[in-house]
Amino acid sequence: MIGRLNHVAIAVPDLDAAIAQYRDTLGADVAAPQDEPDHGVTVVFITLPNTKIELLHPLGEGSPIQGFLDKNPSGGIHHICYEVDDILAARDKLQASGARVLGSGEPKIGAHGKPVLFLHPKDFTGTLVELEQA
C-alpha cells in the first residue's frame, strides 16, 4: 500500500536557525518558508536526492506543533510521510484493519497541494504517520 518516503518532518523552535543550519552548515537546497494556516504551521522543504526534509514551525495560536515543542523544547522528528496511490482506498483499508485516522477521517490538502491524512502514532509504534496521495 505505501509507496516511497515523501518526507521526514522535524518540528523546530527557531525556523530561521534551522534554515541556516541546513543551508549553510549542511549545504542543502532549502525552499522558502510557506504558511499553511489550515494546518497551523509554517513549513520549509529541504530537497535531498532521495527524499525531502520538512521543517515545521508553529503558525498562530493553537498550532498542533506548539504542543509538540512544549514537550520537546529543542524540537525533533514529528512525523514521517509516505506516498499512496489512492488515499481514500488506503484510508478505508487501514480503518478496516483497526488503524485510527486522525481528525474527521477526510483528507485535507497538504503543503504539496495534494490530499493528506494522519494516522494515530499509537497504532504505528509511536510514530505519527502522514499519508499523501502520489
Task: Tell me which residues are annotated as active site.
Answer: 130
Residue 32, φ and ψ in degrees, nearest 5? -75, 150
60 φ/ψ sector (left φ>0, alpha ψ -120 to 50, else beta): left
E-strand stretches of 85-122: 108-109, 115-119
Residue 112: partners with Cβ closer than 8 Å, 6 or more residues away: 6, 132
Residue 20: partners with Cβ closer than 8 Å, 6 or more residues away: none
Task: Name the grid cell of 113.
Answer: 497541494
Task: Name the grid cell of 24.
Answer: 549553510
